[in-house]
Amino acid sequence: MMSNPTPESLHPGLNLGEEHGEDHLEAETSVFGFWVFVMSDLVTFGMFFAIFAASSAPMWMAGGPGPKDFVDIGSIAWQTGFLLASSLTSGMAVLSLKERHAGEGASRGRLIFWLLLTAVLGFGFLYREIADFVSMAQMGAGPTRSGYLTAFWSLVGLHGAHVTAGLLWCLTIVVGVLVRGVDKRWKLALLRWAVFWHFLDVIWIGLFTFVFLGGLI
């Protein structure tokens, strides 16, 4: 019917409902569409990155604190650890779909377990990030202090807001799977959410390298 057949090979082992070409096409379209959206989101991050890069010289700090004054590398390491680990667990969640009849019994439990673990790690990340923000604000490094700090808070905060959205999404999927079972709809949601979550990981690596490490050097 459509020009992109080969449904079998698209999501090997993901058991998207019955063996139906149409479902595979839908999965394909839906995940591809989400990828495209993520590309667009990537540009948004790119813009905030660019503004940050353009505001990193001392002259944009307006005499206020610079990265050396407030970046707590220990906390950043924790955040990185949480996020990388959560990426792993989100991968495990997707993998748990691979088993046949993931809708029932043990494997549904496994899916929910991995999702909840991911959420816990994500909350851990957010907790440390917010704690860092609070201590920055207390030491006079709030976003209104200088152009540099504005760019810093916005870039890191944009990522944090994405993580928050991702967590909300994750919990929604947990509830959805509990209420409705692992049907096609929630499998698709899971696939897209996993793309999103990995994407946030990649962004974080960028932040870690350029904003935090780069700031300290």
- Alpha-carbon torsion, ordered 125, 127, 63, 150, to 10 deg: 70
Q: How far is the CB of 4 from another protein (least distance, A)?
A: 7
Length of the chain: 217
Query: 166, 158, 79: which is closest to 124 by C-alpha?
Result: 79
Nearer to another protein, 82 or 119 (CB): 119
* Contact flags string 168-207 toward another protein, x per CB under 8 A: x---x---x--xx----x---x------------------
Query: CB under 8 Å to 105, separation ≥6 — which residues?
Result: none
Q: How far is the CB of 190 from another protein (least distance, A)?
A: 12
Q: How far is the CB of 189 from another protein (least distance, A)?
A: 7
- Pick out residues in 147-166 that bind another protein (CB under 8 A): 147-151, 153-154
Q: Residue 44 interacts with another protein (CB under 8 A)?
A: yes
* CA-to-CA dists, residue 50 to 87, 93, 114, angstroms: 26, 34, 35
Size of the site for another protein (CB under 8 A): 48
